């Protein structure tokens, strides 16, 4: 018999696979199919990706203002259903405006699945006395990539592009069953109205600003590769027909990486682990610029899969630990910047690729931005260390205990400043 914790984790991971793994990531292996079967070009591909992330951005902004637990739970369920519908319906029209609407709504569903889902799971783990780690939760992103890659290869020969979208939608519908069966009654472990996080003044504002800017840069590093990796591979004569395999390697690397990053956080702390993930993400882009063979691109995909998932899971888990009374709120604030990057970057890189006939300029731009993100992250780390020195045990850390006490959540008996992993 599965324990309650295992059932809840399975349901949470399945929700991520539905709302992001399929609703978002199916678009990447579908790009070549739609280019050949539906007349999609690089510019339109980038604009559709932008529409998807505009939906994600809108969802993140909305979530950052919502304090009602009942509304969040309702939106979470609506996001799950929306992800299934917007995926399956993509193949039922060739009208560009319909695609724009569906990809936008799909983005809204993704934000509900990731941000609200992560916040709900974090609150449930805290209420049950478990460690508030989200590595397993975010492994759903990698599992979704693996699933879409395997589906892409198995159906692309026998089904047209529109039929393939319907198959992805059906797969999402099947995965909805464990979510419905095993999700806990979140209304019983959440307060009716979440408290507003306590501010630590100017230093806290500077800390969050730098963290948001850094996460914006990470969004650029994530979205360009996520959108165009398969298209980049298929555009190369050396890699034609192997885009699905490269996407599969991305997912295989991403799925277990969350757990490994959690282990590294326990040993070295959030900041060193995060900085390493940023640097590895930059390396993955650099490899795409320097290497064009199968081995080089696959190595880039593996590093990319392991690094982007680490940045997302560690950043959101860290702010969730800092603001345990309402984790979805700071997660939404950070993801707002991440979403802006995902709106702008695909459009820019898509037009560069369309005008220049290759992705070199777009990849150089991405490399510069993710490198800047690592510098900004180091700045946020410096501000936190200054707060720790001025307050003895850590200014930011103190607020965690105070906020948790106000909301009635379990608090750290002795918060580990490095990782915040030691909870009672």
Mind listing the pLDDT tens digit for each residue in 74-121?
Answer: 999 999 999 999 999 999 988 899 999 999 999 999 989 988 998 888
Q: What is the pLDDT of residue 302?
A: 93
Highest mean pLDDT: which range of 188-197, 213-222, 253-262, 378-387: 213-222
Q: Is residue 423 one of the residues assigned to a domain?
A: no
pLDDT mean over 240-245:
80
- Considering only residues 18 and 94, tell me which one the structure prediction assigns the higher pLDDT: 18
Q: Residue 13: which pLDDT band, with cuts at 50, 70 and 90?
A: very high
Residues 6+ apart with CB under 8 A from 236: 292, 297
Q: Is residue 420 one of the residues assigned to a domain?
A: no
Q: What is the pLDDT of residue 189?
A: 66
Report the distance separating Cα 144 and Cα 151, nearest Å: 10
Report the distance separating Cα 178 and Cα 314, nearest Å: 26
Q: Is residue 419 one of the residues assigned to a domain?
A: no
Q: What is the pLDDT of residue 387?
A: 66
Long-range contacts of 277-280 (CB under 8 A, 24+ apart): 277/307, 277/308, 277/310, 277/311, 277/314, 278/214, 278/218, 278/221, 278/307, 278/311, 278/370, 278/373, 278/374, 278/377, 279/374, 280/306, 280/307, 280/310
Q: What is the pLDDT of residue 421?
A: 32
Residues 6+ apart with CB under 8 A from 213: 337, 373, 376
DSSP 36-104: HHS---HHHHHHHHHHHHHHHHHHHHHHHH--BHHHHHHHHHHHHHHHHHHHHGGGG---HHHHHHHHH
Q: What is the pLDDT of residue 204?
A: 65
Residues 6+ apart with CB under 8 A from 250: 142, 145, 149, 229, 301, 302, 304, 305
Partner residues linked to 193 by β-bridges: 68
Helix axes 243-268, 202-235, angle to 10 degrees: 150
Per-residue pLDDT tens over the stretch 355-382: 887 788 889 999 999 999 999 999 988 8
Task: Domain count for the chain, please give it.
Answer: 1
Q: Is residue 415 one of the residues assigned to a domain?
A: no
Q: Is residue 418 one of the residues assigned to a domain?
A: no
3-class SS shares of the chain: helix, strand, coil, % to 5: 80, 0, 20
pLDDT mean over 306-313:
90
Q: Whole-number mean pLDDT of the chain?
A: 81
Q: Is residue 377 one of the residues assigned to a domain?
A: yes
Q: What is the pLDDT of residue 292?
A: 76
Report the distance separating Cα 365 and Cα 75, nearest Å: 35
Sign of CA dihedral 374, 379, 384, 386: positive
pLDDT mean over 27-39:
86
**H/E element, 169:** helix 161-182
Residues 6+ apart with CB under 8 A from 96: 44
Q: In the chain, what's the furthest Cα-to-Cα distance?
A: 65
Q: Which range is least confidently modeled, 122-136, 201-215, 389-403?
A: 389-403
pLDDT mean over 238-250:
82
Q: What is the pLDDT of residue 416?
A: 38
Which DSSP symbol is given to 193? B
Report the distance separating Cα 348 and Cα 45, nearest Å: 11
CB 244 within 8 A of CB 267: no
Q: What is the pLDDT of residue 406?
A: 34
Q: Is residue 381 one of the residues assigned to a domain?
A: yes
- Considering only residues 396 and 95, tell me which one the structure prediction assigns the higher pLDDT: 95
Q: Is the pLDDT of residue 37 over 60?
A: yes
pLDDT mean over 125-151:
83
Helix ranges (DSSP H) in 323-420: 328-356, 360-391, 395-407
Report the distance separating Cα 133 and Cα 124, nearest Å: 11
CA distances from 391 to 112, 203, 210, 396, 419 (A): 36, 12, 20, 9, 18
Report the distance separating Cα 403 and Cα 243, nearest Å: 47
Taking the alpha carbons at both ends of the chain, their separation in whole angstroms is 26
Q: What is the pLDDT of residue 65?
A: 82
Per-residue pLDDT tens over the stretch 322-357: 777 666 677 778 878 887 887 788 888 888 888 887
Sign of CA dihedral 417, 418, 420, 422: negative
pLDDT mean over 208-236:
86
Q: What is the pLDDT of residue 194?
A: 52
Residue 106 sits in which domain range? 4-184+200-407
Q: Is residue 189 one of the residues assigned to a domain?
A: no
CB 169 within 8 A of CB 88: yes
CATH code, domain with 338: 1.20.1250.20
Q: What is the pLDDT of residue 191?
A: 59
Q: What is the pLDDT of residue 141?
A: 85
pLDDT more than 70, % of the chain: 86
């Amino acid at each position: 018999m599965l324990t309650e914790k295992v059932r809840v984790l399975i349901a949470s991971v399945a929700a991520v696979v539905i709302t992001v793994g399929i609703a978002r990531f199916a678009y990447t292996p579908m790009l070549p199919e739609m280019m050949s079967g539906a007349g999609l070009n690089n510019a339109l591909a980038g604009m559709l990706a932008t529409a998807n992330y505009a939906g994600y951005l809108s969802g993140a902004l909305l979530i950052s203002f919502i304090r009602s637990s009942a509304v969040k739970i309702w939106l979470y369920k609506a996001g799950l259903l929306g992800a299934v519908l917007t995926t399956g319906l993509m193949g039922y029209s060739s009208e560009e405006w319909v695609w724009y609407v569906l990809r936008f709504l799909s983005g809204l569903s993704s934000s509900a699945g990731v941000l609200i889902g992560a916040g709900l799971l974090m609150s449930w783990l805290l209420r049950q006395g478990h460690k508030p780690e989200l590595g397993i939760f975010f492994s759903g992103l990698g599992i979704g990539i693996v699933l879409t890659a395997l589906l892409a290869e198995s159906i692309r020969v026998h089904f047209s592009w529109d039929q393939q979208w319907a198959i992805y939608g059906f797969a999402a519908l099947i995965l909805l069953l464990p979510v419905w069966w095993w999700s806990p009654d979140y209304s019983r472990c959440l307060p009716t109205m979440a408290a507003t996080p306590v501010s630590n003044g100017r230093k806290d504002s500077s800390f969050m600003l730098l963290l948001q800017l850094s996460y914006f840069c990470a969004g650029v590093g994530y979205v360009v590769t996520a959108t165009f990796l398969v298209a980049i591979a298929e555009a190369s004569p050396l890699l034609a027909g192997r885009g699905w395999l490269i996407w599969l390697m991305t997912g295989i690397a991403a799925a277990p990486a969350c757990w490994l990053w959690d282990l590294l956080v326990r040993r070295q702390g959030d900041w060193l682990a995060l900085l390493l993930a940023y640097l590895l993400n930059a390396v993955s882009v650099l490899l795409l610029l320097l290497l064009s063979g199968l081995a080089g691109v696959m190595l880039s995909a593996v590093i990319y899969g392991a690094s982007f998932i680490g940045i997302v899971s560690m950043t959101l888990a860290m702010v969730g630990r800092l603001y345990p009374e309402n984790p979805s709120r700071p997660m939404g604030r950070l993801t707002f910047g991440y979403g802006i990057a995902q709106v702008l970057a695909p459009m820019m890189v898509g037009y560069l690729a369309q005008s220049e006939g290759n992705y070199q300029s777009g990849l150089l731009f991405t490399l510069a931005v993710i490198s800047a993100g690592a510098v900004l992250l180091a700045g946020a780390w410096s501000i936190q260390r200054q707060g720790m020195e001025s307050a003895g045990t850590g200014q930011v850390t103190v607020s965690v205990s105070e906020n948790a006490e106000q909301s009635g959540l379990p608090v750290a008996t002795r918060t580990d400043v490095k990782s915040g992993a030691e909870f009672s």
